Structure 1
Amino acid sequence: MKLNFKALYHFTFLLALVISASSCAEKKTETSQAQASKEAEATPETDEKIILFFGNSLTAGYGIEQDLAFPGLIQDRLDSLGKEYKVINGGLSGETTAGGVSRLDWFLEDKPDIFVLELGGNDGLRGIAISETKKNLGIIIDKVQEKYPDTEIILAGMQIPPNMGPEYSTRFAEIYPEVAQEQNVTLIPFLLENVGGINELNLPDGIHPTEEGHKIVSETVWTYLKEKV
């Protein structure tokens, strides 16, 4: 799918939004970790399997209630099907692939049966070297595979506006199928399929899906997840 980039705001606004989001990343990480720790202490051990969604603001559900973001909707679907899975939302607004590498170990204290990796969008908006983004995605996948060889890994592909030039945006989109093939993991070609660039399915910033947009994203994710649960 090709994005309708006319629906997106100018790069200067996008970059300001990303930088603003990342300035509070450390505080949000601490809050997220503390909350997850409390939940773990309060929840007795069960036979539930774990699905970890590890990403940025798209996973975190920026601008809406977290339960209404696509990971929460996946949890609702699993519950309705009687599947004993616990979904963990490891999304953090402003997160880059480098940030993901640095905070991954904390999330791997418990084995995820399925690991959904959604990172790279903020790298692209910041113009980070594509080789660096690709390398970091590989490091994250390697870490999961080395610690938990049986964990199923799904990589969510992403596309970006051509603000850095068409060559950069084209090359950026290509790294996801490359990483998926090299690491032998499942690929979602484009996480925001039928959502990206559509005004009515995104918040005013033109980047983050609305509640309705997240419903569509959850359907896209479920297409690749349902065969693994």
Structure 2
Amino acid sequence: MMNRFVFIAKMLLIGAILTSCNSKNKETAEQKDSVKTTSKTPASAKKTIVFFGNSLTAGYGLDDPSQAFAGLIQKRIDSLGLSYKVINAGVSGETTSGGNSRIDWLLKQPLDIFVLELGGNDGLRGIPVSETRKNLQAILDKVRAKYPDAKLVLAGMQIPPNMGQKYASEFKAVYAEIADKNKITLIPFLLEGVGGESKLNLPDGIHPTAEGHKILAENVWVRIKDLL
């Protein structure tokens, strides 16, 4: 009988020890979870980068829009632990005129970095360079007026010479002119290393593949990383 009581006492003691250990483990796990939660930056506290463009920004033709260069920039930012969120404000078919009409609505939300990628469709349609220049400047003026502390970036574009060598040269030059006039960051040619490369573009020869967008993302990153 005595041996039976000793056995029961030992089992109760073991049970109490296990319960205590489980409780401590739970507390430790909860503490870790608490640290993880508090270490994350709330979405509302993150600064905002807006990519304002056309189908290139929107990721036309890709199975997953996050494979476009704007989405890849977000992944790079996240991997570095930087407190920025990317907003992809690309609309396929957008011209600088359309962008100038749309920008007022977009500026209802705060932004810290504004990347302007428009003009390609102007060039393909043969819109006068003077008109493209006027619209790009108007967009930048509106952003600066609403958010004077925002950092502005202009993505340069080029078009094939089949529109005429004079037109193509004037079109290419307008981006550097605007960037210099406004003292803002210039991405000389967004499609550098991709434009004209059939293996990096969709069958239309205009829009990059997922691999092409990786190169675009790098073209953008080298110009904006120091702004973050």
TM-score normalised per structure 1 = 0.80
Code of the residue aligned with 2:52 in structure 1: it is F
2:125 maps to: 126
Code of the residue aligned with 2:48 in structure 1: it is I
Report how far residue 163 of structure 1 moved: 2.0
- Residue 59 of structure 1 pairs with residue 57 of structure 2: yes
Any idea what the Cα deviations from partners look like across 1:44-87, whole Å, max 9, x if unmatched? 85201000000000000000021000000000000000011110
Any idea what the Cα deviations from partners look like across 1:84-141, whole Å, max 9, x if unmatched? 1110000000000000000001111112100000000000000001000001000000
- Between the aligned partners of 2:163 and 2:219, the Cα distance in structure 1 is 27
The structure showing larger relative contact order (alpha-carbon pairs under 8 Å, at least 6 residues apart) is: 1
- Secondary structure of residue in 2 paired with 1:141: helix
- Between the aligned partners of 2:112 and 2:134, the Cα distance in structure 1 is 24
2:90 maps to: 91
- Secondary structure of residue in 2 paired with 1:196: coil
Gaps of 5+ in 2: 1-41
- Between the aligned partners of 1:111 and 1:152, the Cα distance in structure 2 is 12
- The 5 Å alignment of 1:133-144 reads 133-144=132-143
- Between the aligned partners of 1:139 and 1:163, the Cα distance in structure 2 is 28
- Secondary structure of residue in 2 paired with 1:112: coil
2:180 maps to: 181
- Secondary structure of residue in 2 paired with 1:46: helix
1:18 maps to: none
2:165 maps to: 166
Report how far residue 164 of structure 1 moved: 1.6
- Between the aligned partners of 2:96 and 2:113, the Cα distance in structure 1 is 19
Any idea what the Cα deviations from partners look like across 1:4-29, whole Å, max 9, x if unmatched? xxxxxxxxxxxxxxxxxxxxxxxxxx
1:193 maps to: 192
CA RMSD of aligned residues (A): 0.9
Code of the residue aligned with 1:177 in structure 2: it is A
Code of the residue aligned with 1:89 in structure 2: it is N
- Between the aligned partners of 2:72 and 2:163, the Cα distance in structure 1 is 33
Q: Which runs of 4+ in 1 moved over 2 A?
A: none
Any idea what the Cα deviations from partners look like across 1:171-217, whole Å, max 9, x if unmatched? 10000000001111110100001010001000000000000000000
- Between the aligned partners of 1:128 and 1:217, the Cα distance in structure 2 is 25
Tell me: CA distance 1:45–1:84, structure 2 relative to 1, closer, same or farther (3 Å): closer
TM-score normalised per structure 2 = 0.80
Q: Percent identity?
A: 64
- Between the aligned partners of 2:206 and 2:55, the Cα distance in structure 1 is 10
1:47 maps to: 45
